[in-house]
Amino acid sequence: MGLDVVSENRSFGGIQAVYSHDSVACDCKMTFGVFLPPQARYGPVPVLWYLSGLTCTHENAMTKGGFQEHAARHGLAVIFPDTSPRGEGIADDEAYDLGQGAGFYVNATEKPWAPHFRMYDYIAEELRALVTSQFPVTDRHGITGHSMGGHGAITMALRNQDMFASLSAFAPIAHPTQSDWGRKQLSAYLGNDECGWAEHDSTLLLEEHGWKGDLLIDQGSADQFLPLLKPEALANMMALRRQSGEMRIQPGYDHSYFFVNTFAGDHVAWHAARLK
């Protein structure tokens, strides 16, 4: 698992780096960001994974999310994966919400996506193994994400509860099997048999499995994509399931990185308390 250094910069006493590597899961070169806090100089630290949303790369949250200052204060590493495979010879679509930049954190089974779009395996298996073997981190991992990345974070954690000790999300796509941000992508990547879609739906997975701990979900009340995100479905399921956690509706906040940046400190502190 050789890593190529793209960049390394000092940040809040730690290092914000970007690396690329040849991915087996996606059969192409993949890029990801890693923030190592100053505490990592003295021993392994817990890890927070941040999964980004539609149209994003590893860079958006890394430069706009404001996570480094909070992670340095609490002694957490932060991993910023890309959202899809990229490059020549990799399938794409003219629409912003399908193809490169819109991997939806699933393993595609349909043409032309299947050869490369295996983001679920990439995050849960390949990149996790690379991170734990190449960086000074512990086996205590939390996961969060925004929008499509919030969907990815919740579904990945609910399906792999032994791998993650804490879970939160910013404005997640909460019920994709019943949303145009979901039905379009799930049918394209997985086919028209909806029986296989449920394992990629946060609301349905919470109903089936619950979550071993408590959840933190932040949602802006002025989010322009509320009809597509369907936070009410996840909130209702949390109530029905008696799931410990909090869904906070933040008055006046939209879907932008200004929203994410505003509450990034809350989420990092919340994960740090559970990862330590």
Tokens at 226, concatenated: 């509320």
The amino acid that residue 189 corresponds to is Y
Does the active-site annotation cover 22?
no
In whole angstroms, give the CA distance from residue 86 to residue 4: 17
Q: Which residue in the list 116, 255, 267, 271 is annotated as catalytic?
A: 255
Q: Which one of the listed residues 147, 168, 179, 202 is annotated catalytic?
A: 147
Rounded CA separation 119/122 (Å) = 5
Dihedral, 104, 59, 121, 164 alpha carbons, nearest 10: -100
Catalytic-role residue among 58, 200, 223, 271:
223
> Is residue 74 exposed (0-12), middle (13-18) or buried (19+ Cβ within 10 Å)?
buried
Q: Is 147 a catalytic residue?
A: yes
Active site residue 175: no
Which residues participate in catalysis according to the annotation?
147, 223, 255
